[in-house]
Amino acid sequence: MKAKWFKFKVLISIIIAILAIIISIRNINLKNSIVAPSNNKAEVTVSKSEEIKNDKIQDAEIKKQQVIKQKQEALEKKWKIGYDEFFKKKYVQAIETERKVLKEDSNFYKAYAVEGIALAYSGNFKSGLEQIDQALKLKPDYGYARFNKALANELYGHYDEAIKWYKSALEVEKFEWSYYGIASIYGRKGDIENSIKYLKLAIDINPTIKNTAKDEEDFDNVQDSIEFKELIK
């Protein structure tokens, strides 16, 4: 009887131990299930914070680029005023306008090119060439600066250098006035063949150049040739 009772107690103890283990396992799982959502919530919070931070950085960069763009557009307008002043032969005003542009942005290469040619037409070849060279230093392939360097040299009688730079400008852009500049220099030299060659190239781009060439003193030495008369008729 005692043996049976002893076995019964052992069995009860085993059952209680098993139940205790089961309860412990359930408690651990329950604890994990409670902690897990808390960790997920933290991850979501961090992710949202990063997203907000990245959005702010992106917005700041967009605003920065907009400010830069607006500044460039404003400088372009000021530069264009100086450009137009030069073509109206208002050289002093053109120089002043472009210097104001450069005061705001010392790397605005277009302003150097206009100021340089305006200085050359104002009688200051050396300073004019320095400004044009500065434009080319900032942007070596700037066709208008190459053209202005040729024009300045032609204006002061440096014809070989002028032809060199007109041809350099043509490497960037097939501009009719670069061809015309070369033609006019050869015209002064009385070189009919080359004068006609380059004048024709200019006219092919812009036929109205015929009217300009008719009254151009630079072609006095070639205007009586049959080739010239045929070309501009």
> Max CA-CA distance within the chain?
149
CA dihedral for 116, 150, 130, 155, sign (positive or negative): negative
pLDDT mean by block of 10 residues, the chain; 233 residues:
53 66 60 50 70 72 72 93 97 98 96 98 98 98 98 98 98 97 97 98 97 95 96 93
* Contact by Cβ (8 Å): 123, 103: no
CB atoms within 10 A of CB 206: 14
Predicted local distance difference test score (pLDDT) of residue 48: 74
Q: Where are the domains of the chain?
A: 66-157, 174-233
Q: What is the pTM of this model?
A: 0.73
Q: What is the CATH number of domain 66-157?
A: 1.25.40.10
Indicate the angle between helix axes 109-121 and 2-87, nearest 10 degrees: 10
CB atoms within 10 A of CB 148: 28
Pair of tokens at residue 89: 């032969």
With vertex at residue 220, the alpha carbon angle to CA 216 and CA 225, rounded to the nearest 5 degrees, is 115
> Phi-psi bin for 157: left (phi > 0), alpha (psi -120 to 50), beta?
left
Radius of gyration of the chain (CA): 41
